[in-house]
Amino acid sequence: MTEMSQDGKSGPRPCLLCGSPNEPSVEHIIPQALWKRFGLDPDHDELARFRTDLCITHNQATSVLHQRTEMMDLIETGSPVTKKTLQHLGDWIVWITLLLSLARGRGVLGVEASRQLLLRRFDKLHAGTPKGVRVYAALVDDSVEPTESETTPFVLALKGDSRVLLDEKGAPIGFSVREGPINASESIRLGRVVLLVVGSTYSSGDDHEQRIDQAVARVGLQRIFPPEKALPKMEPTPIDMTDVSQLFTVIPDGADNSLMPEALRAFATWDDPGGIVH
């Protein structure tokens, strides 16, 4: 075993995904081709948080993900909006946000769950977007100020979040509040596009998915994954990134609990974040 280098130490670190110390190389999580389209140097210090180190095998596996020229056109220019570019964008951003959150050591699902999903994807044993994940997008209109909207976040019970306590059948029965990521979703703006990735959630009852879609629609985004039969219109929209990033939380206190499983709703009014609820 090679020890992980400390923060700030230069030189390659072991592969972020598999830990292999052999010939790690720099991985541009946001691809270099995209930074260059915006006239940015992919190796600039300011963009260090969008880079990590991967072994050769995993570097090659992730490069394939970036070879989607029309999708890059959509990010840069806002078109073409096609079934294919939206599908590519939805799939791509799931892996990008997982890699980014793993590289930063924090994220919706925590480090180990993120790593397991990524390893499955890039070792090709279980290809395909993780089950239950939803991706939303909008093309941003920067010429208009976004209107003020309600800011009460929705609390979600995420599958894979160790704070959600399960019974022996796997049904959520409780919620333990302790340290961990507080976001239930990841949002990012790249070029003309805003994206929101929402992790797989435990159902809150009838129309759970549609109600998530409606909540996201309030901040101006439309679902692109899983895809609808009809292509979303994707008309340029004024977007408030703060509203998008704060729409979903995993912290029950002060949040709208209507998207929580019924068994957990009682905890959403619970306001002592120091202990564990049984």
Residues that bind Zn ion (CB under 5 A): 15, 17-18, 20, 55, 58
- Provide, rounded to whole angstroms, the least separation between the CB of residue 187 and Zn ion: 27
Least spacing, CB of residue 59 vs Zn ion, in Å: 8
Please state, in angstroms and rounded to a whole number, the distance separating the CA atoms of residues 85 and 94.
14
User: For 218, which DSSP code?
Assistant: T
Nearer to Zn ion, 54 or 184 (CB): 54
For Zn ion, the closer of residues 3 and 206 by Cβ is 3
Q: How far is CA 30 from the centre of its chain?
A: 14
Strand boundaries in the chain, DSSP class E = 25-28, 51-54, 134-139, 154-155, 164-166, 172-175, 185-190, 193-198, 222-225, 248-249
Report the nearest approach of Zn ion to the CB of residue 55 (Å).
3
- The pair phi, psi for residue 32, each rounded to 5°, is -55, -40
Strand partners of residue 248: 154
| Phi-psi group of 79: left, alpha or beta (phi > 0 → left; psi -120 to 50 → alpha; rest → beta) | beta
Across the strands, what pairs with 28? 51
CB of 119 to Zn ion, least distance (A): 8
Q: Which is nearer to Zn ion, 15 or 86 (CB)?
A: 15
Q: Which is nearer to Zn ion, 17 or 109 (CB)?
A: 17
- Nearest-approach distance from CB 127 to Zn ion, in angstroms: 17
56-66 helix and 110-122 helix, angle to the nearest 10 degrees: 80
Whose Cβ is closer to Zn ion: residue 17's or residue 234's? 17
